[in-house]
Structure 1
């Protein structure tokens, strides 16, 4: 995503997330922080059909947003952007990737679970429509086994 995309992305965000959409300035502010942010757009036939963003402050990466126009959902667009953000998290040295998803969005929850995200918390009535936010985490590094071969009898 580049600055020239902001007006279009702001409009797409409004269409997709209505009351929970971001103000234009938020996208401006996010793009102004490349040392900790990475935003991508997905295009089909030269038209932007989706966008996604990441904030990474080691050791945590946080997926800030993923949006895909309804007529392009189910075609792998969100999956491709999610893969890119997870890989960017690894490149930036993150140990965990976090995200929030609406409890009213089972399709997105299923996508995240397929990538290995696990729900670790729930925020009641987080979204303006009253739905809860599910906090999900993907561990990028396996925790070392506490038992070594020297500890075994």
Structure 2
């Protein structure tokens, strides 16, 4: 089930962050900032615990996809697709979504290309280890007035 994240989800998200991103993981303070910050949308996919999460940030006409993290046991099951679709369905007035992904992460790039993203550039030495990022973008559908699945969940600061 996909829903808006709450403060009680943060310890589980932090543990998953550490597992997935190692030294580049966000700590609890950074996660709380993403949860509470203006223009953010922070969603989780939950079963018995948090299986996956995604965070976006709206700045003007652009949604910046900050993170999608999926527990290894739940990969290749459509979880990331559900989270991405949830964020894309709530653009908060933006008309496109952008993201950076490691240029070496072929599976993630393929995932985003399957969902309509196109390559628009490269950010040289973008990551802490000096590796490059591929910049991707997709046009978003016109904003619907119909609430999505996370709209009826506990509230959070979202524009």
Partner of 1:146: none
Structure 2 residue 84 is the aligned partner of structure 1 residue 82: yes
1:36 paired with 2:39, answer yes
Are residue 109 (structure 1) and residue 104 (structure 2) matched?
A: no
Larger gyration radius, structure 1 or structure 2: 1
Tell me the residue number matched to 1:147: none
Deviation, 1:131, is 2.4
Using the alignment, how far apart are the partners of 2:19 and 2:75 within structure 1?
14
* Aligned residue pair count: 138
Asked if structure 2 preserves the Cα contact closer than 8 Å seen for 1:55 and 1:64, the reply is: yes
Is there any run of 5+ residues in structure 1 with no aligned partner, and where? 143-153
Task: Check whether the contact 1:98–1:135 (CA below 8 A) recurs between aligned residues.
Answer: yes
Contact kept, 8 Å, 2:89 with 2:141, in 1: the verdict is no
**d(CA) in 1 for partners of 2:49, 2:35:** 20
Corresponding residue for 1:65?
A: 67
Matches within 5 A, 1:2-151: 2-33=6-37, 35-44=38-47, 46-89=48-91, 92-140=92-140
Q: TM-score, normalised by structure 1?
A: 0.84
2: CA distance, partners of 1:107 / 1:63: 17
SS at match of 1:74: coil
RMSD: 1.5
- Measured in 2, the distance between the counterparts of 1:69 and 1:85 equals 19
User: Scaled by the length of structure 2, what TM-score is found?
Assistant: 0.81
Any stretches of 5+ residues in structure 2 without a counterpart? 143-159
Q: Secondary structure at the match of 2:90?
A: helix
Q: Note the C-alpha offset of 1:140.
A: 2.3
